[in-house]
Amino acid sequence: MTFGIFEQIERLIEYIPIDSNHHDKDDARFENGITIDSKFYFEDREGVATRLGIIGVSKGKTVVSFRDIIKLLNKFLPDAVVEELVIKEWYVRIQTIGGKSSELPLKSLLFDYCLAALAGDNFDSKLYLLHSLHFMGLRIQLNLILSVIANESSLREDVDVRLLLTLLARITEPNNIDKYFDLRSGGFNRRYDIYLREIQKLSPISAQVVRIP
């Protein structure tokens, strides 16, 4: 388990210029001229670059890009659990109503966001992400990162981004997947089928990410 690491990584999003007019950040996009690989200086006071790796140095200063953040998340997600992605106290409390487990499938909200984003279904991905923020207790900075992914069409086919969405989906996949089965087509629905295809790519790509120093 890697409690605390994701919060350190997510805070790096503060150095990426992002436009958003909404309180929930559901419209988050890169500022004009910014891409996934644009580099920005930051003061590494907490030693994130040294401890977590990947982040580069330019002209003697520590720099970070949106891709660096995605790669850092991908590096640790294979060993993560859903409680590491949310405000844990809120998530645990809402799972228990009247002293008994509510068995609410809250993690499926984030799972459905991942499936919609992988399929390029922008409206639904934003809706599921909004629900993940308010009902599941998704952390604000992670919500901002995933909102940018939902709103930036240029990121939809990026290998690192798709790996992130696949890893998140694997962590949050509900125990009961019956609702993703389409009786009319005799198999899983389009979004789940896309997810399964991404899962098939996961092993070789995941191994490359974990080996990054």
* Residue 182 pLDDT > 80: no
29-45, pLDDT tens digit by residue?
Answer: 999 999 999 999 887 77
Q: How far apart are CA 27 and CA 153, in angstroms?
A: 13
Q: In the 8-state DSSP scheme, what is residue 90?
A: H
98-156, pLDDT tens digit by residue?
Answer: 444 545 578 899 999 999 999 999 999 999 999 999 888 899 999 999 999 999 999 99
Q: Residue 146 carries which side chain, given as an amino acid letter?
A: L
Contact criterion met (CB below 8 Å) for 75 and 209: yes
Mention every residue, 6+ apart, whose C-beta is less than 8 A from residue 202: 163, 166, 167, 170
Output the average pLDDT for the chain: 84
* Residue 3 pLDDT > 90: no
The model's pTM = 0.85
Q: How far apart are CA 46 and CA 51, in angstroms?
A: 9
